[in-house]
Chain A
Amino acid sequence: MNTLLYISGCVAVVSTLMVITRTNAVHALLYLIVSLLSVALVFFLLGAPFVAALEVIIYAGAIMVLFIFVIMMLNAGAESARQERQWLSPAGWIGPACLCAVLLAELVYILSGSSVKMIDVSMVSPKQVGISLFGPYLIGVELASILLLSGLIGAYYLGRGAGQGKKKGGSGS
């Protein structure tokens, strides 16, 4: 049980590390899917099967398909990978990476300083989640629907403008 959790956590960290260092966008996307699947496994082992299913369906399914479509439309090939390799020079990434490592070390220090609390894993069923979602969090559900509607309209508007960009040409406006 614990071992499975640690293994999937390690897989998540390693694959995320690969995501931010790959030069080919599709390779990075595949590693990102591995990372999301391992996080879904962590959710399942922590007793949250509903959220694990949502993670696989929505994150690893729908959102990654959007990314794949955009990468295919942008048609990034070998020369973009070469350009990426050029941009990822050590001088460029060592500074930010060190600063982030310092912040992470502080976070780990703070978290490990507290007294160890154990989770006795018990499943929180989808029924409880649904009752909570449509009970005390009903206003949040309504706000989420408004957010999704505005996202839909925004994406439609921007995509429609992108389609007309060819007709207008490079007028610069």
Chain B
Amino acid sequence: MTGVSVEFGLILSGILFALGLTGVLIRRNIIFILMSIEIMLNAAGLAFVVAGARWHQPDGQVMFIFILTMAAAEVSVGLALVLQFFRTFKTLDTDAAGRMRG
């Protein structure tokens, strides 16, 4: 098999992370913000797997499994909070929650 450069994987994960960060910054809908956070977590996992493939060690994949677990827990709690948010404010705009005890 031919070789693959490490830079390709790391730059791909960097691009995906930057896109996710842009999504967090430019969107106002809280659902889209959660999706962008998923993109960023996935990009971080990609970097781990690329590094694990570089040194032929399973550690990168183990770290990806931990990131996956964390993402699953985060998204379940986050979506429950989104439902609560929508019931309280009747909107998904994050600016609606700008004040405490709103």
Contacts and interface: CB of A to CB of B under 8 A. Distances in A.
A73 B5 CA distance: 44
A117 B54 contact: yes
A112 B9 CA distance: 12
Nearest to A97: B22
A78 interface: no
A155 B76 CA distance: 6
Interface residues of B, number: 71
The interface residues of chain B, by DSSP majority, are classed as helix
Given A96-B26, A148-B72, A63 B9 contact: no
A17 B19 contact: yes
A51 B64 contact: yes
B4 A158 contact: no
Contact of A70 (B61, B70, B72, B83): B83
A154 to B, nearest CB: 5
Nearest to A124: B58
B58 to A, nearest CB: 4
Nearest to B64: A51
Interface string A48-84: 1011001100110011001101110110100010001
Please indicate which of the listed interface residues A16, A25, A42 has the most CB atoms of chain B within 10 Å of its own CB: A16
26 contacts: A1-B2, A19-B36, A42-B12, A47-B53, A50-B61, A59-B42, A63-B71, A66-B75, A70-B79, A70-B82, A80-B29, A80-B92, A92-B26, A103-B21, A107-B11, A112-B7, A116-B6, A118-B6, A119-B3, A119-B54, A129-B58, A129-B62, A131-B58, A133-B62, A152-B76, A162-B80
Given A48-B61, A112-B11, 13 more contacts: A9-B12, A25-B32, A28-B32, A45-B4, A48-B49, A50-B61, A59-B38, A74-B92, A97-B22, A107-B18, A120-B1, A161-B84, A162-B80
